[in-house]
Structure 1
C-alpha cells in the first residue's frame, strides 16, 4: 500500500482522500492514462471530466466505502436547517416550488423525500405520490391529475414520481401506446415551459442506482416485513427490463432536458451520500435569506447536470 502511494497524483478538493482506494486509481486513472501524472492542471480537469462522464453513463460508483453514519448526521442536520430557512423564504415571498423525484425502483427517492420533509412545516410542504390513474383520470388530459396538486403561493411540493411515469414505466411495460409516449416527449417540455412562465420553479432530480444495488434492495424488501409493502410486480420486472429502462431514461433526458427545466442526476448506490447531495443541490439552486453557501457544494462525482454527461442542446 505504501509503495503505491508514490504513484498517486494530486486530486481535486472534492475528493475525500481516505475514501479513495488503490483500485479506484489504478483502474480508472493510472492504468488507463499512463501519462496522467504529467498533465497540466487544465488538462487534468479535461481528463477528469472524461472519466466523470464514464462514471455516470456506465453507472460506476466512485467511492469504495459508504458514508459513515457520524459524517452523515454531521452534514444532514445543518442542511435541514437550511431547508427550514428555504421554506420560510418561500412562504414569506409567496413563491411556488416543485421538486420531482424520479428514478428506477428502489433508487432511494422516498427515503430522500422523508429526510427533506423531516423538519419542514407540513402545512406548506407536501409530498405527492399518486397511485395508477383511475378510469376517469385515464380519460382526461394526461397532465391534469398532476396539476391538481400544484403549489399555491408560499408552497413547496415534492412529487414522489411524476408525469414522467409515461417516459419510464409506462413506456417500458406497455402501459401506454407508442403514439402516447412520443406525444409525451413533445408535450412535456411545453408543459414545463408553461409551468415556469407561471412563476413556478421546478427542479427535476433523477436518482441513478446500479443494477446490482437495485437487486440487493429488492431482496432486502423481501426479507424485511416492515418493507414488504414497497414490493410490487413492477419491482421484479425492473431487473429483467434493465436495458429497456436505460434506453427510456436516456431518451427522456435527450428530449426533456431544457434550460428552463433541467434534469439533475444523483448517483444513489450510497443512500446517505445521495440524500446529502440532493439537499445540497436543491439548496444551491434556490435563493433564500441567510444562505450558508459554505456547506452547499455538492459532490460532482455524485451529482451532475445531464447536459454535462450527454451531448444535449438545451
Structure 2
C-alpha cells in the first residue's frame, strides 16, 4: 500500500468533506472545483484500498475507516501547530492563534474583555471566538476545531479535560431604578411577581427556574422570551419593572458601564450551576493556548 496520498492536499480536502458532509460544500469552502475534491478523496480511497465514506442522497458520512483517518489527521494537524508554536516560543510568546468556543453568555462580555486584557501583554496572539451550544463545545474540541472551551457543566465527556470547574450562580438582572434594585439578596418568591425575560425552555437557567418554582409552588409571568441573552439583558435594562436572569460573571463589565444591577438569589437551585474551562485530554496545547488557559482560569478564580 502506497501512502503518498496521506499528504496535503488530499487529507485537507478529505477533512473538509468530513466537516461539511458533501463534496460540493467542501469545494465551496476550499474555493476549488468539486471535481478536484472528488479526485483527492478517490485517490485516498484507492491508495488505502478502502472506502472512507458512506454515500447517501443527502451527503457523505465517514464510515469506520473514515473516522479513523479523520482522527489521525486531526491529531497530526494539532501536532504540527504545536511544534510551530514551540519554535516560535523560542523567541518568546510573540505570535500564535487561539481558537475559543463558548456558550453565548460568556461570549457576550466576559471572554472578549479577558481576551483584550491578555493581548495587552501578548499583542501578537490572535483569537477566534465562536458561540456554540453547550453540547457542541466538547465535539468541537475533540474534532480539533477549537483549543479551549468555556461552557456550563453537564455530564462528563469522553476525551475532554476539565481545566477548571467553578460556581456560576444565577442572578436577577434589572434596571437600577427597579423597585427591587436596592436589595442585597432576593428570593424567587419576590421576583416572580414582576414581568420576566426568559431564555428557551432547554437552557440551564430556564430549567433551574422551573425546578425551583415547581418545588415552591410559584408561578411567574413570562413577558418576553428569546434565545439571545443580549436581548434579554437589554429588555431588563429598558425598565418597566422587568427582570432577566444571568450569571454575574458574564455581564460584569456591563454592570459597571450601564444602568443595570445583578442581585444574588438565595434559592438553592439557582446556585447549582458551574462553569467549566475545557481542553482536549492528552493534547499538549501550543504555547499561546497554554498561556491563555492559565490566564483564563486565574481570572475566574479571582472572582471567588
Same fold by TM-score greater than 0.5: no
Name the TM-score, length of structure 2 as normaliser: 0.25
Q: Which structure shows the higher strand fraction? A: 2
Structure with the greater alpha carbon radius of gyration: 2
Q: Which structure shows the higher helix fraction? A: 1
